Amino acid sequence: MTTMNISLPDEMKAFIEVQMTQGGFASASEYLRSLVRDDQKRRAKMALEEKFREALESGPSKPMLKSDWEALRQEAIQGLAGESIRP
């Protein structure tokens, strides 16, 4: 784990200390890590929603053919084979 120093106005420091106490966090670092994790989850959810939106706007879907499934199967097998070679 690495260390990062940040400067905050006194009001923000006081706010963080209150949130630590009320939220049951052991330290300011634990509270801030929680905020960062929450932001990461929010951004991942937004990215997924964007992909869903793009998929919906890409036009009507069409059924997968047997040849489509076989191509996916082959791609997966090749991917797994490539991973087993890596150190």
Q: pLDDT tens, 3-37?
A: 999 999 999 999 999 999 999 999 999 999 999 99
pTM for this predicted structure: 0.65
Q: What is the mean pLDDT of the chain?
A: 92
Q: How much is the pLDDT for 84?
A: 53
Q: What average pLDDT does the segment 42-55 reach?
A: 96
Q: Using alpha carbons, list the distances in angstroms from residue 87 to 30, 34, 50, 61, 84.
A: 35, 34, 35, 40, 8
The domain ranges of the chain are: 10-85
Q: What average pLDDT does the segment 49-53 reach?
A: 96
Interatomic CA distance for residues 78 and 28, integer angstroms:
46
